[in-house]
Structure 1
Amino acid sequence: MRLRRLLFASTGLLGLISLCPPAYAATDIVEYACTPAGGTTQIVRIHVELTMPTGAQPGVPLTFLHRATYADSGRIRATTALPAGTKMYAYVGISEFPRFTSGTGEGVVVGPVAAGGEIMLPAGTTRVNSTPPGEGTGVVRPAAINFGLTTSDPLIECDVRNKDDLTTYRVVVGAGGSTTTPSPIQTPTPTPTPTPTPTPSGTRTPIPTMTVTRTVDPDPVGVTQTVTTVPTIYETFVDEVETPVGGVATGGGGSAGPDGRVITLIGATVLAAALTGLALRRNRRSLP
């Protein structure tokens, strides 16, 4: 039961959302307040399409193309009869361009129109002309439309009511004179950061070499001779000497060296002389 209620509620909400127009959406439908001479103001909705010129140059007349069609069943009606030769005059407004603010176009004949009769809009486009004084870029919007025999004596004047809601166009004068659209901002491609190469550890240290440079000058031309030698490791063998623990290699203890033999020989000679002297002394005492 709860699930069914939720489904009905969500369906109704989606329906309301679909019926709501998008906020702040630009439109080509212009709301005009049209006032006939000596009559009351009429509110009508007209769909206006503008085509921008290309190749515009300073001081050279340019042309905007203006097409107007009724957006719904509402129509402009003549309060009083309009004479033969009555035309529609279309205007555009230009902003953000100094001394270049508007353009005026003369449409086809729409009269005569009887009093209370419906005014038909031109089936084709109206050429709206203007001359830019210099180079620059301007913002273009649909502006007023009038009906009359001349631009200076309108019989019906229609002023825009929703200017800020209208679609805007850009016109470029000079520098190629093309109408441009905003270009996307280019994002610089990040430069990849180089990854440091690890240095291998535990490498063997090379055997040092010795370089000897000798200059031989047998004749006036100098000759340099480079000799590269590798040091040779010599091993020295020493006779083994047996030395008592805590002793030094002086001949005392262990095997006697040359110095020890001399000392032993001298000691033995002195001892033999002493013994000989004692023997001779004893023999003398024993004689009568």
Structure 2
Amino acid sequence: MRVLLLVPAATLLLSSAAAPADVVEYECKVRATGETQDVKVEVELTVPTDAQVGEEMVIGWHGSYVQGSELRAPAAGLEDGLKLYAYAGISGIDKLTSATGVAALEPLIPGAPVPLPATTVNLKTTPKNPGTGTVHAASINFGTSPSERAIECEVKNKDARTEYPLSIPGTGETTSPSPSETDETTSPSPSETDTKTKTPAGAADTGGGGEAGPDGRVLIGVGGLLVLASATGLVLRRRRLVAGL
């Protein structure tokens, strides 16, 4: 029976790896008043071990305050319906820099600690390329939307953060290879049927006459008439000579 119970647990470990809580120090600023607070949060990240290129992956985020270092709601300047926006930074993998998630919060009480979600927040992102990198806890914000932030919390102890390994197998985005020598082609020389009629500048394009143009055709016509007239004169002269004989 013990062996059967261990199999499901091993299966769960293959899909994600939960890391021990990491104490992250934040400087939180209330945008409405400019007030700042130093806050410490124990952040536990669950990094997937089965991430794939082109598929959405989820990094679990769970945070709890270090006692005595809570973020406290200001007396005024906060709207109802605030949400937590949590982020994880990702390094070492091309075109994959962060994951983000959102969770609703309980109503705030002025002067009391701003509540953090009791359940794990899913931070989502989609890798475009394979690689091996690391994941670390990043900033957290509180607001009604990602762009409407009431409180912004930036990491102070960046160098002390734990880096959790992330591996993404497979193949990534590819670009079309440059053509090889065997692929190079040259434009064929135009055939006789492709040769276009040329028209001198300033002359009307009549669609015939080749390169001679309208003026050239007039000269050719006149020359033809002269030749015909000369030939007719020779014929008449010959007839007169015959008659004289």
The answer for the alignment partner of 2:165 in structure 1 is 170
* Residue deviations 1:136-173 (CA, integer Å, cap 9, x gap): 11211000011011111110000001111111101111
Instruction: Give how far 1:39 is off.
Output: 2.8
The answer for the alignment partner of 2:25 in structure 1 is 31
Instruction: Give how far 1:27 is off.
Output: 7.6
> For 1:96, what is the secondary structure of its paired residue?
strand
Letter in 1 for 2:94: P
Instruction: Give how far 1:97 is off.
Output: 1.2
2:145, 2:126 → 1: CA distance? 20
The answer for the alignment partner of 1:94 in structure 2 is 90
- Structure number with higher helix proportion: 2
Instruction: Give how far 1:78 is off.
Output: 2.2
2:148 to 123, 139, 153: 153
- With a CA cutoff of 8 Å and minimum separation of 6, indicate the structure with the bigger relative contact order: 2
The answer for the alignment partner of 1:71 in structure 2 is 66
Bigger Cα Rg:
1
> For 1:164, what is the secondary structure of its paired residue?
helix
Residue 123 in 1 paired to residue 104 in 2? no
Give the % identical residues. Answer: 41
* Residue deviations 1:169-217 (CA, integer Å, cap 9, x gap): 01111259xxxxxxxxxxxxxxxxxxxxxxxxxxxxxxxxxxxxxxxxx
Letter in 2 for 1:82: L
Query: 1:81·1:115 contact (CA, 8 Å) conserved in 2?
Result: no
After TM superposition, the structure 1 = structure 2 runs for residues 121-270 of structure 1, keeping only pairs within 5 Å, are 121-175=116-170
Which residues of structure 2 form unaligned runs of 5+?
1-19, 172-245
2:21, 2:61 → 1: CA distance? 15
Residue 59 in 1 paired to residue 54 in 2? yes
Query: 1:27·1:165 contact (CA, 8 Å) conserved in 2?
Result: no
Query: 1:36·1:78 contact (CA, 8 Å) conserved in 2?
Result: no
The answer for the alignment partner of 2:79 in structure 1 is 83
2:164, 2:23 → 1: CA distance? 14
1:138, 1:39 → 2: CA distance? 36
> For 1:144, what is the secondary structure of its paired residue?
strand
2:97, 2:46 → 1: CA distance? 17
1:147, 1:77 → 2: CA distance? 12
The answer for the alignment partner of 1:109 in structure 2 is 105
> For 2:159, what is the secondary structure of its paired residue?
helix
Query: 2:85·2:140 contact (CA, 8 Å) conserved in 1?
Result: yes
The answer for the alignment partner of 1:45 in structure 2 is 40
